Amino acid sequence: MGPFSNCHQITEILLPNSLLTLNGYSFSSCSSLTSITIPNNVTSIGDHTFYYCEGLTSVTIGNSVKSIGSYAFYNCTGLTSVTIPDSVTNIVDSAFDSCRGLTSITSLAITAPTISIQTFHDVKYGGKLYVPQGSSGYDAWLNTDQYYLGYYNWTKVEQ
């Protein structure tokens, strides 16, 4: 388990700018954690980092993060929107699985990060995917096969 796993009283954490990675399970099951800002020096969010953080409503992902690990935000049911910086190239299996409140994803990358079939499994129906004008690769995210955003009737909005 991670250093802060099961710390149910923690509502907010200030991470140091010197932090380079968030290891797996770091904050798993911190059910009262409501917001987190991932510093700009962090390059990866490990597997299960915010697993079962149901109270998490606000996440700011730093602009150096390249990958988001499996189950990183699993069952963060309070999360309604997330912005993925253009530095992210890979979002692993089930990263946002069971984020049932998630209705808005903004991805800032011109070329869509790679995802897997269950990256967005069990999100809310009818959400919006905001992407840069002229971007490519996001049609894969909107595939209507089981568990892609298209399966949940999400629509893409270019901005």
Provide the pLDDT for residue 2. 60
Provide the pLDDT for residue 117. 87
Provide the pLDDT for residue 7. 79
CATH 3.90.660.10 fits 1-159, yes or no: no
Residue indicated by tokens 């892609």: 148
Phi, psi of 101 (to 5 degrees): -95, -10
Q: Per-residue pLDDT tens for 136-149?
A: 999 999 999 888 99
Measure the CA dihedral 54/14/12/97, to 10°.
-10
Provide the pLDDT for residue 10. 86
Domain ranges of the chain: 1-159
Per-block mean pLDDT, blocks of 10 residues, the chain (159 long): 73 90 91 94 96 94 97 97 97 96 97 95 96 97 92 97
pTM of the predicted model over 0.85: yes
